[in-house]
Structure 1
Amino acid sequence: MPHPSPGAVYHNGGMQSDISAVQSIQGTLHLLLEEVQKMNHRVSNVESTNQNILSNQQLLTDCLEATEAAVHQMQETLVALPEKTQNKAASSKNISNQHPKLKNIIHPLFFDLCGISKSVDQAERMELLASLPPLPNNEAYTTIKGKEVWRPRWNENVANKVNDMYISEVISRVWTNDISKNVDCIIEQHSQYSCNSTVAVPPLT
């Protein structure tokens, strides 16, 4: 059996080396392609997440505006009611004058009802609020340690049932806050009258 010439052995060895190098390059290129595809997938996910956050923030803004409008309408209705006594008229006027301060009352309520901490800055709170996932079974809120924690559906419109319940809850809290302040004011005025007057103190009505 004839032995292969040294040149043939070198030639075959060189071909095998070239093939191995090509395969290595192809394998590297394949890995690079996979990594690029993964990066594209991650970028797409980030873009999608950012778009969802932007949409949620827009709906959040719509909810804030709707709540402010509803509270303002409620206050205007109170002012338009027949004024039976001077005290009631003054009380209604005080409620109306509080309208410019509504945002200072409503905005913290939006975060507080959703369990967002007041310790973080405004921008981060907005992002946290916009990224809250909805509850299953179309639930509006869950109870954590005896406290209602709301989960509005930012991917739905303002008229959504859960969002409508959320806005109503904010309005209820604002109304309760107004009533509490007015009652405290009346009690304080009544106490001052009692201290300064020598006649019979009129009953609280």
Structure 2
Amino acid sequence: MADPELQLVARRIRSFPDFPVPGVLFRDISPLLKDPDSFRASISLLANHLKKAHGGRIDYIAAARPTPQVSPTGLDSRGFLFGPSLAQELGLGCILIRKRGKLPGPTVSASYALEYGKAELEIQRDALEPGQRVVVVDDLLATGGTMRAACELLGQLRAEVLECVSLVELTSLKGREKLGAVPFFSLLQFE
């Protein structure tokens, strides 16, 4: 890890053993969000990757914010913190994918399982035109349920998912396997 920006980002991720339940090693991005230089570096690194991988072919960034129906921990996605910032950096719009019942107007939905329960995501039916190219962003890829559901929703709208990206990937949970043929990129990987 020779890149100074990537080192700056990595230093701001801290670990908490046995949170939220025994046996889980929680990767906390709070210090990264607290430090403007680290957050800026994370957005810059993700944007640079997307520019190299896709040039000007991306139409939108999609960010998901699920809240599971059953969650002893109050689990909440921080993808909304990265999606709009990344879209802004790339000069793109940001599409929101949310928990069922949180978006007005006609929507399409997809259900999926999370580490701590079940959830259902929705996107507004008119969020995209068929054939528009989208990148899905989240803060962390664990089991892959959220990203897979987001890709399914985008597929229902006949959008083209170019790639999924995240700040952190928990490789031992094999979440990228749930994405099938959709390319995936993460800045940092942890077991």
The answer to which structure has the higher helix fraction is: 1
Query: Higher relative CO (CA 8 A, sep ≥ 6), structure 1 or 2?
Result: 1
**TM-score bucket (shorter structure):** under 0.3
Normalised TM-score (structure 1) = 0.23
In our comparison, the structure showing a higher alpha carbon Rg is: 1
